Structure 1
Amino acid sequence: MRDAAALPSHGDADIAAVASLLADQARCSVLLALDDGRALPASVLAEEAGVSRSTASSHLAKLTEAGLLRVEAHGRHRYYRLAGPHVGELLEALVRLSPPRPVRSLREGTRAARLRAARTCYDHLAGRLGVAVMSALLERGALIGGDGRYDPERDRHDSPSNFGRDVPYELTGTGREFLVDLGVTLPTSGRPLIRYCVDWTEQSHHLGGGVGRAVLDRFMSAGWLARTPRNRAVSVTDAGRLVLAEAFAIDW
């Protein structure tokens, strides 16, 4: 008989523990509201989830205890954000696997249209605008290695349910110069420079990785994009439309 002390203390990953948390619509609404990397107070998250503040507090406590959220204190107020990019990646993968929710009101329809037009995918740009920016970078030779399209026959490991890895995109010297001239601060270390996602609404590639984050940071800091108060949708400002037209040849 084997000594019990010699047995491993842990078995397989308990996927059901996380899955049970995500089986609640209100908790999913909270997580999606935070999927743009922002930190939001419990009151805003309660409104986004359509629950009372006390119920939201219970949900937030469970999500924090499970390691999906972290809480930050700012004076007397507590703000919540995703625990890291890995949680954002989990959410985006689940979004790609999940059927669309039916639109039951004009408000929901407007929100869905905005998300499809332009939104953040944790820390980079997605939606029609994200796909258009990546396409423009490919057309001007700033990126090489692929055509921006999702081809299920060619890209056998890519699908709307995972992150792209089949297409070997690279940033060219011309691309570096273009982005630097645009005021984009390119990262010099850390995560890979170029990654891509199969955009779940457009079924095409949008730009991620260090460059994707740097581009979004520049668009936000320059006032070319504006965040919406309650979700991941972003809107293009008048100054942003001008930059998109002149620098990217995108008519927004």
Structure 2
Amino acid sequence: MTSSRDLAAFAALLADETRAGFALALLDGRAWTAGELARHAGVAASTASEHLGKLVSGGLLSQERQGRHRYVRLADERVAQLVEEVAAYAGPPGPARPPRSLRESTAAAAMARGRTCYDHLAGRLGITVTRAMTTRGLLRQDTGFALTEAGTGWFAELGVPLDGAGRRPLARGCLDWTERRPHLAGLAGARLCRHALDSGWCVRIGSERAVKVTPDGEQALHTLLGIDPAILR
């Protein structure tokens, strides 16, 4: 049984602005070098290394070495879910802190419009797709997230395989930190996101996790799910 001391020690892993910033950056699902994370957070390499050591020891990150470089990533999807949901609860209700620059404002707007959360779609894009799938009877949310028979058929017609899940749930809800509502995660969410990127429906923009729906993507999502393209812009 987890003790109060264990829980406090685990919570302390994210109770630091630099470590929290690393976790949020790693929600893009990529492996980052220690140097890249240090530059992202604006800290010295030695400081980054110390913080990364704590996150790896605590089980939130996994690491591997290739030559001179040390790569780290979130340990698994469960960690990504934890970070995203904690982020959703972290901010108080009401308006967010005003952006300090035009660049920050533009980046924040892009992230809110559409982004990846580890390996699935999030932001307004993720919520819109999830809502459309639910409305069309492809996804159920009344007793937790679950694909319907029509939903599994829809993925098959799309040419997106849903095999090889292992212990990973086929579909689950992930609380969106900007929309404060759940979007589709799990294997189905990951495969749909990968298909959207591989098919050119979405493209990554900037250095963050933001994605933009392309004209081809607008057409595909309108045809497949009845989504109004104006909602995605």
**Fold shared per TM-score above 0.5:** yes
**CA distance in 1: counterparts of 2:82 and 2:175, whole angstroms:** 14
* Shift of residue 22, structure 1, vs aligned partner: 1.9
Report whether the alignment pairs 1:113 with 2:113: no
Q: Which runs of 5+ in 2 are unaligned?
A: none
User: TM-score with structure 2 length normalisation?
Assistant: 0.84
**CA distance in 1: counterparts of 2:53 and 2:145, whole angstroms:** 40
Q: 2:10 aligns with which of 14, 18, 33?
A: 18
Structure 1 segments of 4+ aligned residues over 4 angstroms from their partners: 10-13
Q: Is the 8 A contact 1:131 1:206 kept in 2?
A: yes
Which residue of structure 2 aligns with residue 181 of structure 1?
Answer: 157
**CA distance in 2: counterparts of 1:198 and 1:67, whole angstroms:** 22
**CA distance in 1: counterparts of 2:147 and 2:3, whole angstroms:** 42
**CA distance in 2: counterparts of 1:226 and 1:41, whole angstroms:** 23
Which residue of structure 2 aligns with residue 212 of structure 1?
Answer: 189
- 1:33-87 deviation line (CA, Å, top 9, x unaligned): 0012211112221122122323222222222222221112234322110112222
Report whether the alignment pairs 1:195 with 2:176: no
Report whether the alignment pairs 1:98 with 2:101: no
Report whether the alignment pairs 1:221 with 2:217: no
* Shift of residue 20, structure 1, vs aligned partner: 2.9
Q: Is the 8 A contact 2:173 2:185 kept in 1?
A: yes
Change (3 A) 1:31 1:177: same
**Amino acid in the other structure paired with 1:193:** L
**Amino acid in the other structure paired with 2:146:** E
Q: 1:41 aligns with which of 33, 36, 48?
A: 33
**CA distance in 2: counterparts of 1:85 and 1:244, whole angstroms:** 26
Q: Which runs of 5+ in 1 are unaligned?
A: 1-7, 147-166
Change (3 A) 1:26 1:104: same
* Shift of residue 136, structure 1, vs aligned partner: 1.6
**Amino acid in the other structure paired with 1:79:** Y
Change (3 A) 1:75 1:127: same
* Shift of residue 132, structure 1, vs aligned partner: 0.9
**Amino acid in the other structure paired with 1:222:** S
Number of corresponding residues: 224
SS of residue paired to 2:13: helix
**CA distance in 1: counterparts of 2:34 and 2:139, whole angstroms:** 41
User: TM-score with structure 1 length normalisation?
Assistant: 0.78
**Amino acid in the other structure paired with 1:88:** A
Which residue of structure 1 aligns with residue 212 of structure 2?
Answer: 235
* Bigger Rg over Cα: 1
Equivalent positions of 1:66-105 (< 5 A) are: 66-99=58-91, 100-105=96-101
Q: 1:247 aligns with which of 212, 224, 229?
A: 224
* Shift of residue 145, structure 1, vs aligned partner: 5.0
Q: 1:170 aligns with which of 129, 146, 150?
A: 146
